[in-house]
Structure 1
Amino acid sequence: MPSKRACDCCRVRKIKCNGERPCKACARISLQCTYLKVPQKTGPKRPKNTTLNNIKALQGQLDPQWQGGLGSVASRADVATTPFPGELSLVPTTPAFEYSYQRVPLSSLRPYLELFREKLQPIWLLVTIHDLDRWIAADTVDQETYVLLTALSAATITRLQLGDGRDGGRMAARQMALECQRARHSFNYLGLANEYSIAVSFFLHIYFANADRGGATGPMYLREAISFAHMMNLHVESTYAAYPEPVADHLRTVYFLLLVTERGHCLHHVHLRIPLMLDPTIPLPDAQRVSTPLVGPGFVGLLALFLFLDREICYHLRRDPRLSIPRDALLTIHRRLQAHPLPSRLVTKVQQVDIVVTLFWMQILFWQIALADQLSLSLTLPIEVTQRLLTVRDSYGFDPHTFELHGTTMERKLTLIGDALADVIICSPFAHNSTQQVCHWKELLRGLARIVFDMREFDSDLRLKFRHKLSLALGATQMTKRLSFTQELNSDTPSSSTDHEDPDPDAVDEDFELGGLVGPTTTTF
């Protein structure tokens, strides 16, 4: 039976909707037709709190014995408190509520939970496999769990780019995020510091970091998650003595996941100059006791990389736009990164990719900073790093899907490595000669570019800039947007008009932004 209200797509487009599922307007242009927006309740609105207080004051003056009224019954959500730690599974602290609006059915959330369990749980360890299985099998959930599941679904849709078409996926993710925010404000969530609070804020950070790149909403939600962790005193070791060992291990993992996320965000967004809030003030989690098998060693290995960045390093990164860092600290980090081992083959492929690319990305990042400070490091380091990355990719058997599971952060890391190698080729005095050495460098750059362009596109502006840098380094003055980039990279026939000529900036598409050709000045965070 057709719905009496317009679907979400027609409501946004402000066109007539026939109420079918899917409606004709959505089916015609292949949009995902949903009815997630909750209709506003008709009738008189509830009086404001000031009005209620005035009424109560007047009634008290007229009858001193009167103590009733709407304001006399406290909301159960307002008095909910964090439970004493006990069970391993997450136990919601908010009681059951009766709500007049219509929730997103669990049947609509369940596919996203299953995808998260299969693909993303080893990356985001805030929820355990045990809890995911329990929620997938449940017929109903309480309000706090519902808020968490909608946030998790929004992050999953955005990271995996799900939906019928790119716009359809964005709309579905946006509706989930809006529903999460609306449902979250139905109780006093700011007064509840627990695992749920941290997880919801974290997943909203993931969603907005992908949907609103460069905006302030994503960082704000990350700060909110960190604040909840501080309210739980997760930065104090004595806190964990009150919890059973499995729960304490999981909370320790959550704390360090926030630490890794914050430091990664600091490196990617130096221009925001946000101070670090988390320090490794507690012992690292035991790799053998992380809640998911085979994930623990990989997570601890990734954590070891980010612990190279102490508060002093991040302070200098934020303070000086030219990324001035004490030379001794730079040399120490460079030596540690060079000596850092590759991940064990026993951990999951998803974590292996994350550790490998993060390691090589950090080597290039601090190499660029060292060049800006005129430290004497090898100018061919990007060549060596790219060679190692391609070798490890083949040795470990990484496929494109394994790379793209890490979303836009993986895209940024790989393009930064590619930019550095392209700068070396461009600045080389032999860049436009067909020497065997330069041909080898260009083939390495093509191999890295294939990894990037075999992934789904997460940041179109970043891809355009990378295409332009490749066109300068590989000898092409213009790259046709409609041509398959993989075919172009695989072409063995170089452009005859550019083999021995400098690229003409005027021939490059106007959408590209020309930057400096020296590595440190082209770094984009």
Structure 2
Amino acid sequence: MDQSRPPRYNGFKACDPCRRRKVRCNGQQRCQQCEHLDLRCTYTYNRGARSRKNAVRRGTHISEYKSSSQKNGAIDRSIPGAGPASPPDLSVPLSTTYLHSLIPKYMLCVYPFNPIITSDEIQDSISKMDTDRDRAAFVHAFTGVTIDLTQSNVKASHVSEQIQELTRRAIELRTPLLPGVRPSILRTVTSVYIQMCYMSLGQYDLGFFYLREAISMLHLLRIDDKAVMAALDLPERSRRQRLYWLCFIHERFMSILHFSPPTLSPYTEFPDEDPALGPYITQGWIQVIKTFLLLEPTFISLWIGDRSHVTVAWVEQKHRELADELWELEVSLLTDMQQADLVVTRQWMRTLLWQMAMSNCLLSSNASCPSLSLEMPLRLSNQLRQFLTKISQNTVQIHGSSILSKLLEIINTIADVVIHGPAVTLEETTSRIDDIVFMKNVIFSFRNLQQISKTILVEKLELIRERFPHVPVASQLVADSVVS
């Protein structure tokens, strides 16, 4: 026997992770596969445990998670095929069976609002993730964002822990961008999904960082270069245009949430119509773009800067843009999930507009423009409640942290008006508080409601209850709202 040869660890047997995944293992102390995927490389020497007869059936861990999820009543029966994506067992590599089970959920809940990476491309990334680090990074980010958006209503800390770990792995797996190397569409979307995961986890600064990273890749891809884009075929050109608009939308939202100036201008045109996308996704996507175009530079600069420049004329103009009857007709033809996103977003923008008018003391009890009325948020509250009662709650929760942030802005504004507004009749007060109770129940159903947001809201609800002890419904404001 050659004593100079480096020892092999069980040369004729695979390590535990490779054995579970049924891939080739080189038998080293830390095998090539585990080194590549940064896994804990272990070898089980129990002959009975390693025999095929006694081996744990492939997919057992996933089945256990699915069983646990169903026992918790997490599957939404109102959306066909939208059962929640159970968190994977991250002590072993992600199984292809589990990853493929996520694709239908992704296509139903994620793709319509992020229509860039198709199911075929995801399958291709899954098949190559063992040999391509960037594809492995995307798969982890895709897993994290799909779990997040399909388990927004699951009250379990392990879900957030799984998303945190999947996001960390996605970041660590990516290869560095070196001179002469251009980022891919896949890598850019990976950064967007990382941003979405961090936003869900309440880590807004990291979300901001990875969104800006995605925007930097847009420039490297030269999506704003007409000559480069003209050389592409229709599907690829349309996809890159949608990617630009996706980053534009996310950045406009972050500008409001993070009080940061945007860097992207609107793209020169709407995305070219891609027949493969499907008409309902195309129509919904165009409506999302139109909605976020209302957050133009003046709106954002007034929101994050000097609001003394907010004028009555400007508020009235923005109100007319937000009260477009044609928009309401077009949106009514979309799916409930698309409507939930668009209607809540419009009400959120109306709330922001009212706040800016209030900041410059432009409000009046007899204003001709609703956005200049003292009671505007209360009207929005009633309208939003009427809409939300017509759709499944899961169609709201499926939008995750972005729609939660908008709902929080709306309910906090409504609560402030009720706390500080003039006294009204008992019937009106009861109606207002009942709307707040309804909104509170919607918001508290989200898994990723951050503790600081919950604390602020509960304090306001307590103030309302103390101010109106004679209103029976006020007792429901703090029910199930104890701050832990």
CA offset at residue 409 of structure 1? 1.8
Give the match for residue 460 of structure 1: 451
CA offset at residue 34 of structure 1? 3.3
Q: Could you list the per-position Cα deviations for residues 392-445 of structure 1 after superposition, in whole angstroms to 9, with x for gaps in the alignment? A: 234xx32111111111221221122222222222223326xx622222222222
Q: What does residue range 379-398 of structure 1 map to in structure 2 within 5 Å?
A: 379-394=374-389, 397-398=390-391
Give the match for residue 249 of structure 1: 238
Q: Structure 1 pair 2/195, CA: closer, same or farther in 2 (3 Å)?
A: closer
AA at the equivalent of 1:221: Y
1:365 and 2:352 aligned: yes
Runs of 4+ displaced beyond 6 Å? 17-23, 136-141, 162-165, 509-512
Q: Which runs of 5+ in 2 are unaligned?
A: 1-13, 18-28, 30-43, 50-55, 69-86, 364-371
Give the match for residue 314 of structure 2: 329
| Pick aligned residue for 1:303 from 286, 289, 295 | 289
CA offset at residue 118 of structure 1? 2.8
How far apart, CA to CA, are the structure 1 residues paired with 2:122 and 2:102? 11
AA at the equivalent of 1:171: E
Give the match for residue 418 of structure 1: 411
Give the match for residue 217 of structure 2: 228
Give the match for residue 262 of structure 1: 251
Give the match for residue 54 of structure 1: none
Q: Is the contact between residue 122 and residue 292 of structure 1 (CA under 8 Å) also seen in structure 2?
A: no
Give the match for residue 53 of structure 2: none
How far apart, CA to CA, are the structure 2 residues paired with 1:193 and 1:245? 20
SS of equivalent residue, structure 2 residue 112: coil
How far apart, CA to CA, are the structure 1 residues paired with 2:460 and 2:234? 51
AA at the equivalent of 2:213: E
How far apart, CA to CA, are the structure 1 residues paired with 2:290 and 2:130? 40
Larger radius of gyration: 1
Give the match for residue 90 of structure 2: 34
Q: What does residue range 471-482 of structure 1 map to in structure 2 within 5 Å?
A: 471-475=462-466
1:118 and 2:108 aligned: yes
Give the match for residue 140 of structure 2: 150
Q: Which runs of 5+ in 1 are unaligned?
A: 6-16, 37-102, 479-490, 499-508, 513-525
AA at the equivalent of 2:161: M
Q: Could you list the per-position Cα deviations for residues 260-301 of structure 1 after superposition, in whole angstroms to 9, with x for gaps in the alignment? A: 11001111111xxx3311111411125675724411111111
Q: Structure 1 pair 207/494, CA: closer, same or farther in 2 (3 Å)?
A: closer
Q: Could you list the per-position Cα deviations for residues 360-385 of structure 1 after superposition, in whole angstroms to 9, with x for gaps in the alignment? A: 11001110111111224111111211
Give the match for residue 405 of structure 1: 398
Q: What does residue range 34-183 of structure 1 map to in structure 2 within 5 Å?
A: 34-36=90-92, 104-132=94-122, 142-161=132-151, 166-183=156-173
How far apart, CA to CA, are the structure 2 residues paired with 1:163 and 1:510? 18
CA offset at residue 457 of structure 1? 4.3
SS of equivalent residue, structure 2 residue 277: coil
| Pick aligned residue for 1:338 from 323, 337, 345 | 323
AA at the equivalent of 1:374: C
Q: What does residue range 274-285 of structure 1 map to in structure 2 within 5 Å?
A: 274-285=260-271
SS of equivalent residue, structure 2 residue 264: coil
TM-score by length of 2: 0.71
CA offset at residue 180 of structure 1? 1.9
Q: Structure 1 pair 148/383, CA: closer, same or farther in 2 (3 Å)?
A: same
How far apart, CA to CA, are the structure 1 residues paired with 2:99 and 2:244? 27
Give the fraction of aligned pairs with identical amino acids, expressed as a percent. 20
How far apart, CA to CA, are the structure 2 residues paired with 1:162 and 1:374? 38
AA at the equivalent of 1:451: V
Point out the more displaced range, 254-263 or 342-351. 342-351
CA offset at residue 359 of structure 1? 0.3
Give the match for residue 3 of structure 2: none
Q: CA RMSD in A?
A: 4.1
AA at the equivalent of 1:381: M
CA offset at residue 120 of structure 1? 1.5
Q: Is the contact between residue 235 and residue 281 of structure 1 (CA under 8 Å) also seen in structure 2?
A: yes
How far apart, CA to CA, are the structure 2 residues paired with 1:34 and 1:176? 8
CA offset at residue 323 of structure 1? 7.6
Q: Structure 1 pair 233/459, CA: closer, same or farther in 2 (3 Å)?
A: same
How far apart, CA to CA, are the structure 2 residues paired with 1:450 and 1:510? 13
CA offset at residue 325 of structure 1? 3.9
TM-score by length of 1: 0.66
Q: Is the contact between residue 238 and residue 273 of structure 2 (CA under 8 Å) also seen in structure 1?
A: no
Point out the more displaced range, 452-461 or 242-251. 452-461
How far apart, CA to CA, are the structure 1 residues paired with 2:351 and 2:373? 11
